[in-house]
Chain A
Amino acid sequence: MAAEQTISPASKATSGPNWLLRDLAGLAVILVLAGIGYLLFPNNLALLTRITAIALLVLSLDLVTGYCGIATLGHAALFGAGAYAAGIAAAHFGITDPIIMVVIGAIGGAAAGLLAGAIMLRGHGLAQLVLSIAIVYLFHETANKASGWTGGSDGLAGISPDPVFGLFGFDLWGRTAYVFGIVLLVLVFLLLRVLVRSPFGMLCRGIKEDPVRVSAMGASVNATLLRMYVISGAVAGVGGALNAISTQVVGLDSLSFTTSAEALVMLVLGGTGSLYGGLIGTLVFMWFEDFVSSINPFHWLTIVGALLIAVVLFAPSGLYGTAVQLLQRIRDKR
């Protein structure tokens, strides 16, 4: 007993500062980039806030795709559920405090995650993929039909959030929304770093590698995956709520198959299974999209397609994964 106690702090001490340092460095990079964005594009903060919201969606997708190995083309269902939950709370029930709206969005996303996860875990492979697509379409059609609650294809308008803490009002330039979004992103990112390093996160990785072996070790595969799905739903819901708060409107496109597919593309572009990759992919993809589609939206599609093919063929581990491998190789040579 005593020996164990002396060993475990020592082993922690050798591995501890390394990851702590790396996470702090990652955090610093996010904050510096956010600051640069604020200074360079003061007239385009709405785009930056949207990137932040989508980054939350991509992070949540990384939790199920990167850490659990579930390929899904329907993750926007969870994002949209959070957006509509926060939006309906504000427009129909007068709950306009932004922090409470985010909490409601997280709960809405988690509920959608529970439902989607329970359905999707029934299948494997092709069946699972088709189920994910069917779920996002089903959510989309439901939101379209229930236009009394959701505004249907016109979108849900009439969301006017209160100032944060009663101090910082949401202004025309979107400064408050931007800072609010970055703070949310940083908090969620830190929580997720802790989560994926926890025993639970390790269990999820184990399931991704070999589900049969994990279940032979006595862990319940489906219960673990479902739990991760609910967590992922909460994260996506926070992203949706942020989008609803910053744009003050929720449209059907937040629940669409296209959004889901784009989120997957961003994740793979950046690299799965590291959280950093998701952030990088979102930033690169959305900035590039804004740049190219202002010239011609159809060229944009061709370029995304070519980019996807190139990533699959030449950089299957994404931008972040490839960069890490390059650094590793340089370090090994020394």
Chain B
Amino acid sequence: MQTVFSVGTDALAYGMVLFVISIGLSVTMGLMRVVNLAHGAFAMIGGYIASYAAHMLGFGYAVAILLAVAGTILISIPIERFLFRRIYGAPELTQVLMTIGITFCVIGIANYVFGPTLKTIPLPDMLRGPVDLGYRSIAAHKLFAIACGVVVAGALWFLIDRTAFGVKLRASVDNAAMAGSLGVRTRIVYAVSSAVAVGLAAFGGIVGAELLPIEPYYALRYMVTFLVVVSVGGAGSIPGALLACLVLGAIDTTGRYLVPEYGEFFFYLAVITIVCLFPNGLLGRKR
């Protein structure tokens, strides 16, 4: 029972961190049809800025998060403007190469600036130590990660399902040309949603820093994981991404607890099975 509970909470926390980071990727991939392997790099940049702000500048956790999210979005604007915009609508091979190139550059630069060591983001006292749930206790930062995931999912649902911007976003995902001719300024929709996507990646990178530690190879190590989540869930689908994160998080964590010597074998086996059965993702729409 103890094992089941700890596997369950770990899986939930891991899945939620995955969700916060990759949901932006899912939305932008549904919107702009770009196979983006550089998304993890933005999560890593967020983590680095937060770590720097907390350690070197002495800011608190909340301020560090805000600074990191804003800083990452700032960094992403020229990258989006000069590099990404050229590969919208290009063949997949081109998109893969361009985004791998960006990832490699970010890794190299991060290592040059911050060194190859693992970076920590000091947690506030509130998030340290266990929280007593009455009959079991759970690490506070995991609870925080789960709460963040729930809040992000809820906020995104509200944004996309209930606001005027959400209507435009959904229209652009379905048919960008038609939405444009009906007066939706798709360029602004694109710009806002990529900024939100990058910001969420940075946020997820900071919140999940205890589970996915920040180091230069972060972007390469989890690059595939984020892409897999989007593919399994279906690009552009928020419930799909949530489902994919929970399922893959559960499989990965259970595998690590019960049969650690198999590594990520079951994770990738599950990915192959799901993608073979649902080529458009669990909840993705047919194209």
Q: Which residues of A contact B (CB under 8 A)?
A: 65, 71, 73, 119, 122-127, 129-131, 133-135, 137-138, 141-142, 144-145, 257-258, 261, 264-265, 268, 272, 298-309, 311-313, 316
Task: State how many angstroms separate the Cβ of B112 from the closest Cβ of chain A.
Answer: 6
Task: State how many angstroms separate the Cβ of A212 from the closest Cβ of chain B.
Answer: 15
Task: State how many angstroms separate the Cβ of A106 from the closest Cβ of chain B.
Answer: 25
Per the bound structure, the CA–CA distance linking A62 and B201 in Å amounts to 34
* Also in contact, A130 and B112, with CB within 8 A (given A308-B98, A308-B104): no
Return the contact of B104 from the options A124, A145, A305 (Cβ within 8 A): A305
Task: State how many angstroms separate the Cβ of A225 from the closest Cβ of chain B.
Answer: 16
Instruction: Give the size category of B's interface with A.
Output: 35 or more
Tell me if A264 and B227 are in contact (CB < 8 A).
no
Tell me if A130 and B92 are in contact (CB < 8 A).
no
Tell me if B105 and A129 are in contact (CB < 8 A).
no
Per the bound structure, the CA–CA distance linking A307 and B35 in Å amounts to 19
Task: State how many angstroms separate the Cβ of B119 from the closest Cβ of chain A.
Answer: 16
Chain A: CB-nearest residue to B235: A126
Which of B98, B101, B103 gathers most chain A CB within 10 Å?
B101
Return the contact of B103 from the options A131, A144, A305 (Cβ within 8 A): A305
List the B side residues contacting A304 at CB < 8 Å.
Answer: 101, 104
List the A side residues contacting B265 at CB < 8 Å.
Answer: 138, 141-142, 145
Tell me if A302 and B105 are in contact (CB < 8 A).
yes
> CB of B97 within 8 A of chain A?
yes
List the B side residues contacting A305 at CB < 8 Å.
Answer: 100-108
Q: Which residues of B contact A (CB under 8 A)?
A: 29, 35, 83, 86-87, 91-94, 96-98, 100-109, 111-112, 116, 216, 220, 224, 227-228, 230-232, 235, 261-265, 268-269, 271-272, 275-276, 279-281
Per the bound structure, the CA–CA distance linking A314 and B100 in Å amounts to 16
* Also in contact, A65 and B35, with CB within 8 A (given A298-B112, A301-B108, A305-B101): no
Chain A: CB-nearest residue to B116: A298
Chain A: CB-nearest residue to B230: A126
Per the bound structure, the CA–CA distance linking A144 and B263 in Å amounts to 9
Which of B104, B220, B281 gathers most chain A CB within 10 Å?
B104
Tell me if B228 and A134 are in contact (CB < 8 A).
yes
* Also in contact, A265 and B97, with CB within 8 A (given A71-B92, A134-B228, A313-B86): yes
Task: State how many angstroms separate the Cβ of A273 from the closest Cβ of chain B.
Answer: 11
Return the contact of B228 from the options A119, A130, A312, A316 (Cβ within 8 A): A130
Return the contact of B279 from the options A123, A137, A144, A298 (Cβ within 8 A): A123
Return the contact of B102 from the options A73, A303, A309 (Cβ within 8 A): A309
5 examples of A-B residue contacts, CB within 8 angstroms: A137-B224, A298-B116, A304-B101, A305-B103, A306-B101
Tell me if A126 and B35 are in contact (CB < 8 A).
yes
Per the bound structure, the CA–CA distance linking A125 and B29 in Å amounts to 12
Tell me if A134 and B107 are in contact (CB < 8 A).
no
* Also in contact, A129 and B92, with CB within 8 A (given A123-B276, A305-B102): yes
List the A side residues contacting B271 at CB < 8 Å.
Answer: 130-131, 134
Per the bound structure, the CA–CA distance linking A325 and B220 in Å amounts to 35
Which of B93, B103, B228 gathers most chain A CB within 10 Å?
B93
Return the contact of B97 from the options A119, A127, A142, A311 (Cβ within 8 A): A311
* Also in contact, A137 and B264, with CB within 8 A (given A119-B276, A268-B93, A309-B83): yes
List the B side residues contacting A261 at CB < 8 Å.
Answer: 100
Tell me if A302 and B112 are in contact (CB < 8 A).
yes
Tell me if A135 and B92 are in contact (CB < 8 A).
no
Return the contact of A298 from the options B92, B108, B262, B272 (Cβ within 8 A): B108
